[in-house]
Amino acid sequence: MSEKFSTYKGYPLVRSGDQLYYGYMSDPYVIWIQILGKKEVDGEEVTSKVRVIQMATEIDDPKKAFVKNAERECGLYEALDIAKVWLDKALRS
């Protein structure tokens, strides 16, 4: 497959509506980001609340695949920074 994905700080980022997946599916973990809230800033709609979930890729049952999660009142870039730290730490160990 020769598809090109957007990347953020070295990991692929795929978005479908208010759901984002961050990381390589071939790695042991990926991050699932859910946009839970939005607000208007200067006429633009921006993310205001997210849920960040670290998931194991080798477990078939999604509920059992959840390793850790956090809900934050923050923007999308802050959520991606959380995701980057979690992935870096998980893939190092």
The predicted-structure confidence for 53-91, as pLDDT tens digits, reads as follows: 999 999 988 788 999 999 999 999 999 999 999 999 999
- Domain chopping of the chain, boundaries: 6-92
Rounded distance, CA 37 to CA 79, Å?
A: 13
Sign for the pseudo-dihedral over CA of 80, 34, 12, 67: positive
The predicted-structure confidence for 7-49, as pLDDT tens digits, reads as follows: 999 999 999 999 999 999 999 999 999 999 999 999 999 999 9
